[in-house]
Amino acid sequence: QDFKGIDFFTKKGMRGQTNPNPPDWEDETNGLKVASAPMKAGDCAILNFRTHHSAPGNLQKRQRRRVICTHWFGDDARYTDKQWECNPNERGDNLVDGGDLECATFPRVI
């Protein structure tokens, strides 16, 4: 099931989206399968863009949580200019609707 993208700080849906809001995953699952896995430093999670993912907040002032996130596209992926905001709202440099994704913002990795 597709849900509306929400900003997890404001809890508001991204403008222009028509999908339903996601459930409050802490209180309900609406019959959807919820999986979790213990993670430690150096671990890697690989998800597709249709996977809701989250983590609890870090309340420890002395121990920071650091994350690096990369997005990988196939050669056949095309840019689609959505009417709603993304989070982060990164659109790329000089991308055109239907064109490929390679640009200064999204360089080719070989």
Which letter, b or e, does each residue of 94-110 get, where b requires 16 or more Cβ atoms within 10 Å of its Cβ?
Answer: ebeeeeebeeeebeeee
Segment 61-90 shows an average pLDDT of 77
For the chain, percent of residues with pLDDT exceeding 70: 89
Q: Are 22 and 14 in contact (CB under 8 A)?
A: no
Structure token pair of residue 17: 């989206």
| pLDDT tens digits for range 32-62 | 777 888 888 888 888 877 777 777 677 777 8
Q: What is the pTM of this model?
A: 0.49
